[in-house]
Amino acid sequence: MDYFDHMQLRLTNQEKYVPGRLGDKKLVRQFADMIGVRTPSVYFRGALADIQWGTLPREFVLKPAFASTSIGVMLLRTAGEGKYDDLTGGPAVTVDQIKEKCAAISTKFYNDAAHGDFIIEELLRDEDGQTPPQDIRFYAFQGEIGMILKEDHMSNGAAKAMYFDGNFLPFSDVHSRYSVAQGMEAYEEIVEAKTPHNWRELLSVAKRISSAVPSAFCRIDLYDTSEGVYLGEITFYPGTFYYKNRKLMSQNEAERLGRMWDVAAERLAGSHDPRSLSQAFTTGPTT
């Protein structure tokens, strides 16, 4: 089976023992603590109405616990007089304006402006002091890395995507492997890949996490910061590439990753009982 075949089985709940609960932002922090991987400090998690704005640190990240990637994410710094600077370059906002934005996100997902938890966490910076650090996503198969996607989707204009192989080397034939869906060129751009200076630690952490996760495949999102490598999230049901509505993967590449998935499943089954490993975390796809 190729990557798309495997993902279809997973998304339709036909793959057994997928530890999907590890995708929850709260549980993934507990898991990371167990295996010695850094995660951003959490200052608050709960209903928007319960946030005590006067007790928050000078700068922080505010994001919905129920969304993915950059949806609803705000990078904020206290500006005085009840206002916060938008560290992505937007105008300063008041608490009421922040609440309005959060309510709009809740309404989009739940059709209820008051529904859904929000997280306030540590704001991370890269080695140059820029925030947020770029997402670095590892497509991981039980300790082996099939592909690495480094993406900047917080900048103005089209998101900038870089693709690397499992050794963090740029693909010399990237455009035969990956492309952008027709009509999405204004939102997505594949650019020349530049291997991060800290690539060894990033790769080491990704492999450690992948080996510890009781699943043949997961996507591991890491941040390369001035304080070291941080885990953002573990995703078991990524729609990227599968839905073919923005990023595209060639058939040859899907077959290569599919073989890695097959081998990882065999390796996992040969060393552990998948049921005992996954029982505490098993659930279906989450939004």
pLDDT of residue 152: 82
Amino acid at 173: D
Alpha carbons 185 and 195: distance in angstroms, whole number: 24
Domain boundaries, given as residue ranges, for the chain: 3-39+129-278, 42-121
Instruction: Give the C-alpha distances (Å, rounded to integers) separating 81 from 54, 101, 120, 149, 152.
Output: 11, 19, 20, 40, 32
**Three-class secondary structure of residue 226 per DSSP:** coil
What CATH code would you report for 3-39+129-278? Answer: 3.30.470.20
Q: Looking at residue 146, what is its pLDDT?
A: 98
Give residue-wise pLDDT tens across range 199-256. 999 999 999 999 999 999 999 999 999 899 999 999 999 999 999 999 999 999 999 9
Q: What is the pLDDT of residues 162-210, one digit of tens each?
A: 999 999 999 999 999 999 999 999 999 999 999 999 999 999 999 999 9
How distant, in Å, are the alpha carbons of 21, 37, 114, 223 from that of 229?
23, 8, 34, 6
Of all residues in the chain, the percent with pLDDT exceeding 70 is: 92
Give the whole-angstrom CA distance, residue 150 versus residue 195: 9
HSE toward the beta carbon, residue 168, CA cutoff 13 A: 15
pLDDT on residue 201: 97
Contact call for residues 155 and 75 (beta carbons, < 8 A): no
The DSSP code for 170 is B
When the pLDDT of each residue in the chain is averaged and rounded to a whole number, the result is 91
The DSSP letter of residue 23 is G
**How does residue 135 score in pLDDT terms, banded at 50, 70 and 90?**
confident
Q: Which of 12-26, 44-58, 147-161, 223-237 has the lowest mean pLDDT?
A: 147-161
> pLDDT: is 125 or 157 the higher one?
125
For the cut 70, the answer to whether the pLDDT of residue 284 exceeds it is no
In the chain, what's the furthest Cα-to-Cα distance? 61
Cα dihedral 26→84→123→145 (10° resolution)? 80
Q: What phi-psi label fits residue 193: left (phi over 0), alpha (psi between -120 and 50 degrees) or beta? A: beta
Per-residue burial over 61-70, b = 16 or more CB atoms within 10 Å of its CB, e = otherwise:
bbbbebbbbe
pTM of the shown model: 0.88
- Describe the chain by its helix, strand, coil percentages, rounded to 5: 30, 30, 40
Chain position carrying tokens 């009982």: 273
Please give the pLDDT value at position 23: 86
Alpha helices in the chain (DSSP H): 3-11, 25-35, 95-110, 174-177, 199-212, 251-271, 274-278
- Residue in the structure block whose two tokens are 């710094």: 77
Distance CA 208, CA 163 (A): 21
